[in-house]
Amino acid sequence: MSPADTLPRKLAAFGTLIPVAILIGYAVSQPLDYLSLTVLIGMAVLLTVPILIGAHHLFLVATWNASLTVFFLPGKPRLWMLATVISLGLALLGQLLDRKRQPIRVPSVTWTLIALAVVVAITMQLRGGIGMHSLGGSTYGGRRYVEVILAIAGYFALTSQRVPLEKVPLYITLFFLSSLTAAMSNLVYMAGPGLWWLFLLFPTDLALSQAASDLSLDPSLQAGPKRVAGIAFATMGPYMFMLARYGVKGVLDLRRPWRLVLFLVIMAVGASGGFRSVLILFGLIFLIQFYLEGLHRSPLLPALILAGILGFIGLFLFATRLPLPIQRTVSVLGVPVNPVAKYDADYSKEWRIKIWEILLPDLPSYLLIGKGYTLDPTDLYLTQQAVKRGLAQDYESALRAGDYHSGPLTLYIPLGGLGFLAFGAFLVAGLRLLLANYRYGHPSLRGINTFLLAFFLARIVFFFLAFGAFSSDVMLFTGTVGFSAALNGGVARKPNETPTNRAALTST
């Protein structure tokens, strides 16, 4: 090749590198500016694209359940949201560069998620736009639209490639144990102001209930049970990991007593957070998986019933001696607890019933198109001030913010009947996928497939009958289905019984 032939390439290289160098130089000169940080991190990502094409899927799995924020982006999104965008983009790039890289296709799930995304887009368009205050908008609520859309996109990112069987243990470990980062919010708060700069990385909302109890001038809040949301929710990770890794039978295996001891410690720490929802989820997941493993036909069933009766008797006799947060958690079992913990738990239940009573007459108006997520910040502020001054009930600010503390309401009111139907169709398609993988998946995936089906069923029951927030919970549903598809290469099929196979089976 002559020098004249290489000249255009050299000019193209210089034409690309010089503007990039100028941009980096400007960013370095303003290192504390958010835009500069974004530019520098973006350049670093571009330089590592060849590596990321092979590692983005693992990065997405590792961050899906992590409680980490991207502090340098407007609105401080969660890390899984950024990881979804990066992973999906790199997956598409990898498919363009290598035609052999093909995503996992499950048409029944794909079309239901597309339908849900269309409903979200139509609702957003008809109800005031996206309205993101962090981007300079005059309204709030756009973040919830983004959460739902990225949760849908996350499914496609998770199914962009299959997880090799030899790497399944690593993926399972990262997928579940990354939720331990939720505990950092409370730990950073308890460490004191000297470490509060770490809230750049860890969300503050998980420590708000604890801070409200400590800093409130209201004697009832100071005397009530102090709930530590981060630590309570963090225990879900190791709890799920043990059931996914060992199964119920493996956890209860007395030949390895450390498993059962660790399992009970995890449950005790989770109960110490003061959230009844954690105990309900623990119980739902455990009982459904117990059934799916066929243990209801084994000697473990009477042993479990006996242990449950003894445990209930112990709680009935000694619950009032436990710390107040634990008493609030176990109050859902109907055992006697301290009046302070009982009042706090009962008030929360009455508060939710009152919200249903207020919203019930308005439900027919959302039969087709929902209310959307757009909020008027002035209206919200005035309502909050009215609540502080005793001029309005405390649930009124939650109504204005769309925090209904009910899964069906947080789905139906913002997205209407069409959104409800689209999500319901996705749940049916997801259940069919998980059930097929549970029945016909690779033998080495039997444990994780059983757990994912149990978790999905438990989450559905919990979302519709106990507590839910659709915009933040939808990623749990899409993530579970997407992770199962990635592990199994889509939907596992029942092996075909050819005449030869049937003859062999008959002779056997």
Pick the most confident of 123-137, 267-281, 385-399: 267-281
Give the other-Cβ count within 10 Å of 74's Cβ: 13
Residue 6, token pair as written in the block: 């290489």
pLDDT at 13 over 50: no
144 in the same domain as 32: no
Alpha carbons 388 and 382: distance in angstroms, whole number: 10
Q: What would the pLDDT profile of 449-501 be if each residue is shown by its tens digit?
A: 999 999 999 999 999 999 889 999 999 999 999 999 999 999 999 887 444 45
Residue 173 lies in a domain: yes
Residue 350 lies in a domain: yes
Pick the most confident of 38-42, 202-206, 288-292: 288-292
Q: Across all residues in the chain, what is the average pLDDT?
A: 85
Mean pLDDT of 58-74: 92
148 in the same domain as 56: no
The C-alpha angle with vertex 278 and arms to 267 and 175, in degrees rounded to 5, equals 80
Residue 54 lies in a domain: yes
47 in the same domain as 29: yes
Please report where in the chains the tokens 């949301």 appear, as a residue: 229
Residue after which a domain boundary falls, among 97, 130, 162: 97
Q: Which residues pair with 507 in a beta bridge?
A: none
More confidently predicted of 208 and 243:
243
pLDDT-wise least confident of 36-45, 192-201, 274-283: 36-45
More confidently predicted of 321 and 226:
321
69 in the same domain as 44: yes
pLDDT at 505 over 50: no
Confidence of residue 34 (pLDDT cuts 50, 70, 90): low
Q: What is the CA radius of gyration of the chain?
A: 26
Residue after which a domain boundary falls, among 63, 97, 131: 97
Residue 262 lies in a domain: yes
State what percent of residues in the chain have pLDDT above 90.
55
Confidence of residue 139 (pLDDT cuts 50, 70, 90): low
152 in the same domain as 90: no
117 in the same domain as 66: no
Question: Which pLDDT does position 130 carry in this prediction?
Answer: 75
Is residue 142 within 8 A of residue 374, CB to CB? The reply is: yes
Question: Which pLDDT does position 502 carry in this prediction?
Answer: 41
Question: Which pLDDT does position 431 carry in this prediction?
Answer: 97
CA distances from 268 to 47, 271, 333, 345 (A): 46, 5, 15, 19
State what percent of residues in the chain have pLDDT above 70.
81
364 in the same domain as 248: yes
386 in the same domain as 418: yes
- Which residues are CB-neighbours of 83 under 8 A, at least 6 positions away? 56, 59, 60, 63, 64, 157
Confidence of residue 20 (pLDDT cuts 50, 70, 90): low
- Which residue segment(s) compose the domain that 26 sits in? 15-97
Please report where in the chains the tokens 């039969």 appear, as a residue: 367
Residue 304 lies in a domain: no
149 in the same domain as 76: no
173 in the same domain as 195: yes
CA distances from 93 to 13, 50, 102, 372 (A): 21, 10, 11, 33
Among 208, 173, 170, 168, which Cα is nearest to 189's? 208
pLDDT at 426 over 70: yes
Residue 503 lies in a domain: no
Question: Which of the 8 DSSP states describes residue 495?
Answer: P
Question: Which pLDDT does position 28 carry in this prediction?
Answer: 55
How many domains in the chain? 2
pLDDT at 506 over 50: no
Question: Which pLDDT does position 503 carry in this prediction?
Answer: 43
Question: Which of the 8 DSSP states describes residue 375?
Answer: B
Confidence of residue 393 (pLDDT cuts 50, 70, 90): confident
pLDDT at 46 over 50: yes
Residue 33, token pair as written in the block: 């500016």
195 in the same domain as 85: no
Residue 6 lies in a domain: no
Among 96, 64, 62, 95, which Cα is nearest to 81's? 64
Question: Which pLDDT does position 340 carry in this prediction?
Answer: 85
Residue after which a domain boundary falls, among 41, 74, 97: 97
Alpha carbons 207 and 31: distance in angstroms, whole number: 30
Q: What would the pLDDT profile of 286-343 be if each residue is shown by its tens digit?
A: 999 999 999 999 999 999 999 999 999 999 999 999 988 899 999 989 899 988 888 8
Residue 507 lies in a domain: no
195 in the same domain as 159: yes
Alpha carbons 142 and 154: distance in angstroms, whole number: 18
